[in-house]
Homo-oligomer: A and B are copies of this chain.
Amino acid sequence: MDNLEIGHHISHQFDAELASVLNHLMNMGGMVEQQIRDATESLIENNTTLAQQVVVGDTKINALEVAIDEECIRILAKRQPTAIDLRLVIAIFKTITDLERIGDQAERIARQTLNLGGRECPATFCESFGEMSSLVLQMVHATLDAFTRLDTQSAANTTMVDDKVDMLYVDILTQLLPRIEARPNQAGEHINMMWATRALERIGDHSCNICEYVIYFVKGKDVRHIGRDAMKKFQD
């Protein structure tokens, strides 16, 4: 938390409260990253035990979301922050909603592993899925890092990575479709793989949302829905 300028308040108590909520947010982020990693491994290694663990783990992330929400509401009620402090609390509010939904998507991947019930995914799929998952994990990590360092440039750069994620998503779907056509009796399994790939793609989108909140917080500018070209000016 060293990089966030939260030490400028007259009330040390307020600083402590902000630092605490930010620490909880980063813990939640770390847990979410681990869930993505485990869910991916469960699918690639067809490890249903690990998948089960991810499903159970999601309840902890849900509980963290509710707890951090309550912390934010307490800060708003007690400290009535304005200007940049208010924007920070709002950014945290919104970020944890997206983090929780990233957690849901990781759970969704794990559920596909369970649906597959130990059946192996094709090697080409595993390779592409692993590559896409690594890229998505890089995005989530860079996003949380940009949040900690309030780095709008890095936040804007990270949203650009989502284009690559989207391309990989289309690639994998394009790979899977002819496999379904060729092996219609395995359509169900291939559709499970599609859902899992879709979940990864959604994680990229949620990461972008968080990057936009970072820019909103630092610049006071709402950059949602402005499109990639307009976003590019925050990269410099």
Contacts and interface: CB of A to CB of B under 8 A. Distances in A.
Interface of A: 59, 62-63, 65-66, 69-70, 73, 76-77, 80, 82-83, 86-87, 90, 93-94, 97, 177, 180-182, 184-185, 187-188, 191, 194, 222, 224-225
- Please tell me how many copies of the chain the complex holds: 2
A227 to B, nearest CB: 10
Contacts of A62: 224-225
11 contacts: A62-B224, A69-B222, A73-B86, A76-B86, A93-B93, A177-B188, A181-B185, A181-B187, A182-B184, A184-B184, A187-B187
Given A77-B82, A184-B187, A187-B187, 9 more contacts: A66-B225, A70-B222, A73-B86, A76-B86, A180-B180, A180-B191, A182-B184, A184-B184, A191-B194
